[in-house]
Amino acid sequence: MSNDQSAISPSPRENAVITGAASGIGAAVARRFRERGANVFLLDRDMPSLHRSFGNADDSKAKLFEADVSDTAQIKDIFAEIERCHGGVDSVVHCAGVARLGTVIEMDEATFDFVLKVNLKGTFLLAKHAMPSLLARKGSFTAIASDAGTQGASGYAAYCASKHGVVGLVKSLALDHGPSGVRCNAICPGFVETPMLEQLFGDNPTDRAFYEKSVPLGRFARPEDVAELAAFISSPAGAYLNGAIVALDGGSTAGYFSTAVLSR
């Protein structure tokens, strides 16, 4: 399941688990945590991409795991292996997720179940199997939710439901485990320039331009914007952040916004 385990030895260095690390936000988070000297344990179901980005044999601070975040046995085994071989986990940044378009009329039940299973149950499994280690090391759990976790999103019934679930779960984690020293938070990005966004807009530049113009800061986020916030939250600088649901959307969810009003 993983590459050579002998390369990372137990050390006072931060051990960080990052899911969805083969692409987009997860890959940027992985790069950011490596920059700050963490041992990174990178999970994704897309192993070829994970290897292309992080499979350098000389890189002794990155371990790659092929895993589906909604698979109980795989997630349990990975945390057991990290505990056994590397002493435990200090930070989790859970980025893996899927988006599927559709209203409840358009979407079939299997697609709804799939989105909920990956996005919500996946977050539950990550939190469940990371928590013993996070409790022992007073660590940090950060989930990448979405602005669709705090407001509705037309045409995204299942995605929106799953991300509201993630936000609720993270708030409960913060209450349940904050008293024992584990901080649990969620980041709610608006649109971020990743393959997921490319998939959403496809070859429709008109839609893209419309949504980009509706962001008060005038641009979509870059994966690095999200990575920087995730790094901050899990660092000592974020030591008083717990149960925070942080909007990272250029002001999109701050209220009604219209460039037409500004240009009057």
Stretch that binds ligand NAP, among 83-91, 97-105, 174-182, 253-261 (CB under 6 A): 97-105
Count of residues in contact with ligand NAP, rule CB under 6 A: 28
Which of helix, strand or coil describes residue 192? strand
CA distances from 158 to 3, 25, 105, 237 (A): 35, 21, 11, 35
Shortest Å distance, C-beta 84 to ligand NAP: 22
Binding mask 98-117 for ligand NAP (x = CB under 6 A): xx------------------
Residue 212: which H helix or E strand, with range?
Answer: helix 205-213
CA distances from 120 to 27, 67, 69, 91, 130 (A): 20, 16, 10, 19, 15
Nearest CA among 143, 15, 155, 188 for reference residue 89: 15
Are 13 and 39 within 8 A, CB to CB?
yes
**Contacting ligand NAP (CB under 6 A), which of 34, 54, 93, 97?**
97
Q: Is 245 in the site for ligand NAP (CB under 6 A)?
A: no
Site residues for ligand NAP, 15-74, by CB under 6 A, read 20, 22-26, 44-46, 68-70
Which of helix, strand or coil describes residue 54? helix
Are 135 and 178 within 8 A, CB to CB?
no
Shortest Å distance, C-beta 142 to ligand NAP: 11
Between CA 224 and CA 205 the distance in angstroms is 23
Shortest Å distance, C-beta 22 to ligand NAP: 4
Q: Is 194 in the site for ligand NAP (CB under 6 A)?
A: yes
Q: What tokens does 136 get?
A: 């022992």
Torsion angle, CA of 234/237/240/242, rounded to 10 degrees? -20
Nearer to ligand NAP, 87 or 248 (CB): 248
Between CA 253 and CA 243 the distance in angstroms is 19
Shortest Å distance, C-beta 264 to ligand NAP: 30
Residues labelled catalytic: 159
Nearer to ligand NAP, 96 or 241 (CB): 96
Binding mask 224-243 for ligand NAP (x = CB under 6 A): --------------------
Binding mask 165-184 for ligand NAP (x = CB under 6 A): --------------------
Site residues for ligand NAP, 121-160, by CB under 6 A, read 122, 144, 146
Nearest CA among 63, 101, 107 for reference residue 84: 63
Nearer to ligand NAP, 99 or 158 (CB): 99
Contact residues toward ligand NAP (CB under 6 A) are 20, 22-26, 44-46, 68-70, 95-99, 118, 122, 144, 146, 189, 191-192, 194-197
